[in-house]
Amino acid sequence: MPTANPEPLPGPARSRFAPQARIEALEYELTLAQELLRRTDEERHRLNARLAAVEAERVHLHAVLTQREAYVAAIHRSVVWRTAQSLRRLVGRAW
């Protein structure tokens, strides 16, 4: 049983651009994509630098907070503070 070549199925419509014009359009899109990538990388670097600065500030503030909490704890442990609080309790007021 001989088989005939099947008829080609209708495919996508041919581009209305000439091959050179299509290449130029693709080159233009590539240029735009590369520019977008460059800008995105610059923005990422800028945001990483900002994040590092904020992280350094957070570490500094945490150190200051720890230092001040230790200072307040030392005040609360002092004999003068405890004596003052005992006297305040005698008159009905305490912190």
* Domain extent listing, the chain: 19-90
Q: 17-45 pLDDT, tens per residue?
A: 678 888 999 999 999 999 999 999 999 99
Distances (CA, A) of 22 to 11, 13, 15, 35, 70: 19, 14, 8, 20, 71
DSSP 91: T
This model's pTM is above 0.75: no
Q: Is the pLDDT of residue 9 over 70?
A: no
% of the chain exceeding 70 in pLDDT: 80
